[in-house]
Chain A
Amino acid sequence: MSDHVNGAAEGTVANKVPVTITVNGRTHRADCEPRTTLADFLREDLGYTGVHLGCEHGVCGACTVQLDGSTARSCCMLAVQADGSEVTTVEGLAEDGQLHPLQEAFWNRHGLQCGFCTPGMLMTACELLADNPDPSAEEIREGISGNLCRCTGYQFIVESIQEAAPKMRPAT
């Protein structure tokens, strides 16, 4: 893309920006307004509706994705900023029809109820276990405290992450 894009003068239609982005291994190219957030771009333009919007102001964590290897809140980024990036969403966790160990553990342990916070919670838990392969319950609570859940009271989420941890640890 060019380095400067006119968003919209008063009352005119905005210029759109081409954005190229790789999501869950597939490269997409689409045009969007500069003001479009990464979350809206993933949901509306690319169809990754597993990315959920719970607050659009960077508190609830439901829109959390992996961006170039670490978690990011996709509501707190513009799509244009992610041009050329690699993104993983919840849709990219399961492979070949097999649930990811965290997905399996959340299912076993009732780590979700309505499921709205779940995609963000899973993405955060992935990073948490990568950084700390054997966390205590308190460390898990601290690690997911940027992801609000209104249904579960968190206990079964903590137990789910504990159950998944040994399965995600690299063999020693």
Chain B
Amino acid sequence: MAEQSAAGLIGARVRRQEDPRLLTGRAQFVDDVRLPGMLNAAVLRSPVPHARIVRIDVSRALAHPGVYAVVTGDEVRAAVATPQPVIWRMIPDQRMTDGYPLAVGKARYVGQGIAAVAATDRATAEDALELIDVEYDELPAVTTLEEALAEDAPKLYDEWPDNVSCRATIPKGDVEAAFAEADVVVRETFRFARQMGTPLETRGVVATWDPFTDRLDVWLSTQSPNLARDLFGEVLDVSVDKIRVRVPDVGGGFGNKFDFYGEEVVAAILSKRTGRPVKLIEDRLESFVANAHSREQKVEVELAATSDGRITGLRGTVYAVLGGQLATVGIGPCWLTAALMSGPYDIANVEASVVGVVTNRSPYGSYRGWGQPKSNFAHERMVDLLARRLDMDPLDVRRKNLIPADAFPYASPVFFYDGGRYDECLGLATDAVRDRGWLRRRDEARGSGRTVGIGYSFHVEITALGPSRIMNMAGLQHSAFDEEVVRIDSSGRVTVYTGQTALGQGIQTALAQVAAEQLGVPLDDVTVVVGDTDTCPYTGYGTGASRAASLGGGAVLTASKRLKEKVLRIAGGMLEAAPEDLVVADGRISVVGVPDRSVSMAEIGDAAYRRINGRLPEDEVPTLEEREVFDPPNVAFSYGCTAVLADVDRETGEVRLLDYLIAHDCGTVINPLIVDGQLHGGAAQAIGGALYEELVYGPDGQIQTTTFMDYLMPTASEIPAFELLHMETPAEHIPGGFKGMGEGGTIGGAAAIAGAVDDALADLGVATVALPITPPRLLAAMRNGQVQA
């Protein structure tokens, strides 16, 4: 690509370094990894939602030609030191499910792993699965929240008193008083369907566990290689120096690849047993039961307000419809729904509770946005309903209650919001709505018999997850700092080593931009190395929670600054000038005002690594490398306003999105192209969640959506063009001022769409309280007022 000058690279709309390999078919995804002697594995999954496993006979499978090994749940349990780890433990007295990589004793959901086969190829492994005989003693299943909470409900865990894993309440102020004194109280209950991140590349692992040296070498499609390495160590009782996790190109994560799955452990055990590398790739059918599900909740909310629309109190309860066992993130996402239920609003009195309930469904894990799409839907829908009750413009209710710009840092029930100009952001959106003629379009459509509505939502997005000590206090069994290494080599080129994972979000380009600008080199002179715990530094947590660009960018910026100081000291010696009289541009260091007196970065590299004598100052050590560990003092909150213009077909109940805009602030923007792409993609997932996607279970506990014909991810024809509006309020506590923004598009979409649908059907009094809004449900709502699940 064309040489880009370093100046102004932070904020430059440059195309990505990742793309040539991805565009030409030269990328390497985990299923492209082929090792000598490699076997392929497949997992036998439970066909029943709840059963005792009476007997497993693997003899026929073992005798099948091409089969190398078969393992059962009991054998896996004997091979591991601990149950599958749950790293988020916000609620100290939570009952843990202590699940193993394959079911032990009992199967608790359809699709739970029962046994696994390693064979010459995947087809043979699948042939062998059909030869495993399992005798199940079926038990009554609890397939819904209501069934699980019913008195005398069948219990998933015999030793528990009921199916409740945890309860906790997050208080702020005096909620009782707020409701006692309120002019109006609005109550509503919201339901969210099961959905999942559904990256187009399914999960996969290639494990080589040497039985003689105990070295475990893993290729893993993951968002969290350091976490995975540590958890492999815990579960397999191997010290982490013997474990290497490499992450190839990752075909999308969206939270699904944050968690640490049982199959990863199974592949390692099969490798040790066979003495060969073992590949285990989840196929699409099993992805619908073996991937962590998400989103499914019931949320009850009450608002207390004055008659002029000032919100004085909020009370809510989140019922988390957990699965048959806890996933890696435990109650985390559902706890976050409660923790952020007041969203962007200045509400003095808040009480939010979470109740975690186990059911005979797949485990509940991470999906882009974590708990936030639900908390956002709850507070935004409540604001709309309050406005309806008071006969006010919902925008006026928002303006009246948004946290004012001078109130930051603002203490919400759990988090300190660092800063923002919320009211200005709302104004940016409403101005754009006006300029794009939405009001006229709505009125004209109504005049011609069509039904068009406008909806808004305002969201906050927690990003830059840290600091480690506070997160540990909150219950995280892991750290949340980020470490980055910046090196200039002997040819003067720059390499950044990062523990963050490249999964399509453009982190390699973003970090390269930060390093290039700081060091004064062309962007193409910077390479960013990702995806290897042996060579890359440690990042706490992983690439999730919108941390990578913010914390990684901050750390790279600081490391690069220090590295540049050394470069200038060396150059000062070579040019006989004081470092403060030097400037760096396009990879050359020159004396201010005397451009002819200069050295190149290549000469500096040579002086630091090779021909040192007489060129590297006596008091400098050779090499050019800096390492920065950044444990942020606080998280950073991005925010935005989504506005949607939607058309509803009153005869069919179909919703068509006519226009869609997002006003957004994520602090200093590193690359607007990437930010736009993230917002687009997030919004498309919000649209999928609002209108299309649902993992459906039948009353028998069987999942009914196991193909892309049944789980409806939107195509290009269902997604509108997006209009984006940006503002930049740098984060003061993060070097560079970067906030994260990977999840923002996903958080606010559903509430704005629901608002637009309700507005279109205002004459019918429709209130959308459940997702997704499908045509049959919407048509029913037009007749009875509420969109119900």
Interface residues of A (CB under 8 A from B): 11-13, 33, 35-36, 43, 48-57, 59-60, 62, 89-91, 93-94, 99, 103, 106-108, 110, 112-119, 122, 137, 140-142, 144-158
**Chain B's nearest CB lies how many Å from the CB of A116?**
3
Question: What chain B residues lie within 8 Å of A140 (beta carbons)?
Answer: 716
Q: Number of B interface residues, CB 8 Å?
A: 60
Pick from B16, B249, B504, B715: contact of A151, CB under 8 Å: B504
Q: Which residue of B lies closest to A113 (CB)?
A: B504
Instruction: Identify the interface centre among A49, A107, A151: most chain B CB within 10 Å of its CB.
Output: A151
* Residue with the highest number of chain A CB atoms closer than 10 Å, among B16, B29, B709, B716: B716
Residues of B within 8 A of A122 (CB): 23
- Chain A nearest CB from B18 CB (Å) reads 7
Q: Report B-chain residues with C-beta under 8 Å of the C-beta of A137.
A: 721
Partner of A91, one of B25, B198, B251, B283: B25
Query: What does the 1/0 interface line of B663-702 toward A look like (CB < 8 Å)?
Result: 0000000000110110111111100000000000000000
Q: Is the CB of B717 within 8 A of A145?
A: yes
Asked whether, in the complex, the Cβ of B673 is within 8 Å of the Cβ of A110, the reply is: yes
How long is the Cα–Cα vector from A145 to B65 in the complex, in angstroms?
A: 42
* Closest Cβ–Cβ distance, residue A40 to chain B (whole Å): 9
| Docked pose: A55 CA to B201 CA in angstroms | 9
Q: Which of A50, A110, A114 contacts B199 (CB 8 A)?
A: A114
State in angstroms the CA–CA spacing of A90 and B674 once bound together.
Answer: 24
B59 at the interface (CB under 8 A from A): no
Scan B561-575; emit 1 where CB is below 8 A from any A CB, else 0. Answer: 000000000000000
Q: Given the interface contacts A112-B19, A115-B19, does A91 sit within 8 Å of B65 by beta carbon?
A: no
22 CB-based A-B contacts, threshold 8 Å: A11-B64, A11-B65, A33-B123, A49-B29, A49-B31, A49-B32, A50-B25, A52-B201, A60-B284, A94-B24, A103-B24, A106-B19, A107-B19, A110-B16, A110-B673, A115-B21, A115-B22, A116-B200, A118-B22, A153-B719, A153-B745, A154-B680
How many Å lie between the Cα of A144 and that of B715 in the bound state? 8
Q: Within 8 Å of chain A (Cβ to Cβ): is B503? A: yes
Q: B252 contacts A50, CB within 8 Å?
A: no
> Inside 8 A of B65's CB, which chain A residues have their CB?
11-13
B520 to chain A, nearest CB (A): 25
**A151 CA to B709 CA, complexed, in Å:** 19
Q: What sequence of 0s and 1s flags, for each residue 53-72 of chain B, a beta carbon within 8 Å of any chain A beta carbon? A: 00000000000111000000
Assess whether B402 is interfacial by the CB under 8 Å rule: no
Interface residues of B in 12-48 (CB under 8 A from A): 15-16, 18-29, 31-32
Instruction: Report if B373 contacts A (CB, 8 A).
Output: no
**Cα distance, A35 to B27, chains bound together (Å):** 27
- Render B238-255 as a binary contact track against A, CB cut-off 8 A, 1 for contact: 000000000001111010
Establish whether residues A52 and B677, one from each chain, have CB atoms under 8 Å apart when the complex forms.
Answer: no
Q: A49-B31, A145-B715 are in contact. List 16 more A-B contacts (CB 8 A).
A: A53-B31, A59-B708, A112-B23, A115-B249, A116-B201, A116-B251, A116-B252, A137-B721, A142-B717, A144-B716, A145-B717, A150-B681, A151-B681, A153-B677, A155-B680, A156-B676
A54 touching B19 in the complex, CB below 8 Å, given contacts A60-B708, A113-B681, A151-B252: no
Across the interface, B200 reaches (CB within 8 A) one of A49, A94, A149, namely A149
Q: Across the two chains, which residue of chain A brings its CB closest to B250?
A: A114
Known: A55-B284, A145-B716, A150-B685. A107 touches B16 (CB 8 A): yes
Residues of A near B680 (CB, < 8 A) are 152-156
- The chain A residue with its CB closest to the CB of B688 is A150
Complex contact A110–B677 (CB within 8 A): yes
When C-beta atoms are compared, the residue in chain A nearest to B680 turns out to be A153
Residues of A within 8 A of B506 (CB): 113
User: Cβ of A52: which chain B residues have Cβ within 8 Å of it?
Assistant: 29, 200-201, 251
* B713 within 8 Å of A (CB atoms): yes
In angstroms, Cα B128 to Cα A158, docked, is 44
Which residues of the other chain, A, contact B25 by a CB distance below 8 angstroms?
48-51, 89-91, 119
Cβ B708 vs Cβ A55 within 8 A? yes
Closest to A154 in B: B716
The CA of A145 and the CA of B715, in the complex, are separated in Å by 5
Residues of B within 8 A of A11 (CB): 64-65
A107, B15: Cβ atoms closer than 8 Å: yes
* Interface contact B18-A115, CB-CB below 8 Å: yes
A110 and B66 CA atoms in complex are apart in Å by 44
B707 at the interface (CB under 8 A from A): yes
Distance in Å from the Cβ of A142 to the closest Cβ of chain B? 6
Separation of A155 and B24 alpha carbons in the complex (Å): 21
Query: How long is the Cα–Cα vector from A62 to B21 in the complex, in angstroms?
Result: 16
Which 10 A-B pairs have CB atoms at the shortest separation, nearest pair first?
A50-B25, A115-B22, A114-B504, A116-B251, A153-B680, A153-B684, A113-B504, A59-B708, A145-B715, A90-B25
The DSSP consensus for interface residues of chain A is loop
**Which residues does chain B contribute within 8 Å of A43, judged by CB atoms?**
31-32
- The reply on B505 being an interface residue by CB < 8 A is yes
Residues in B neighbouring A144, C-beta threshold 8 A: 715-716
A122 to B721, CA, bound (A): 20
Is B438 an interface position by the 8 A CB rule?
A: no
- Which of A35, A137, A148 is the most central at the interface, judged by chain B CB atoms within 10 Å of its CB? A148
> Does any Cβ of A come within 8 Å of B722's Cβ?
yes
- A148 and B713 within 8 A (CB): yes
Residues of B within 8 A of A146 (CB): 715
Q: State in angstroms the CA–CA spacing of A56 and B16 once bound together.
A: 30
Asked whether B198 lies within 8 Å of A150 as measured between CB atoms, the reply is: yes
| Cβ of B563 to closest chain A Cβ, rounded Å | 29
* Chain B hits for A147, CB < 8 A: 715-716
Interface string of B255-274 (1 = CB under 8 A from A): 00000000000000000000
Given A115-B249, A153-B719, CB of A50 within 8 Å of CB of B26: yes
Q: Interface code B469-506, partner A: CB below 8 Å = 1, 0 otherwise?
A: 00000000000000000000000000000000001111
Query: Roughly how many angstroms separate A97 CA and B11 CA in the complex, as a whole number?
Result: 30
**Which residues, 282 to 326 on B, are CB-close (under 8 Å) to A?**
283-285
**B33: nearest chain-A partner, CB-CB:** A49
> CB < 8 Å: which of B19, B28, B198, B201 contacts A49?
B28
- In angstroms, how far is the closest chain B Cβ from the Cβ of A146? 7
Q: Could you say which residues of chain A place their CB within 8 Å of the CB of B66?
A: 13
Q: With A and B bound together, what is the CA distance between A66 and B506 in angstroms?
A: 29
Per the bound structure, the CA–CA distance linking A35 and B31 in Å amounts to 19
CB distance from B214 to the nearest CB of A (A): 31
Q: Given the complex, which residues of A lie within 8 Å of B28, measured CB to CB?
A: 49
Measured CB to CB, the nearest residue on chain B to A143 is B716
A28 to chain B: closest CB distance in Å? 16
If the complex has contacts A52-B201, A103-B23, A115-B27, are A155 and B707 also in contact, measured as CB distance less than 8 A? no
A59 to B709, CA, bound (A): 7
Q: Chain A residues with Cβ under 8 A from B123's Cβ?
A: 33, 35-36
A12–B64 alpha-carbon span in the complex (Å): 9
- In chain B, residues 193-209, which have Cβ atoms closer than 8 Å to a Cβ of chain A? 197-202
Are B709's CB and A54's CB within 8 A?
Answer: no
What is the distance, in angstroms, from B623's C-beta to the closest C-beta of chain A? 34
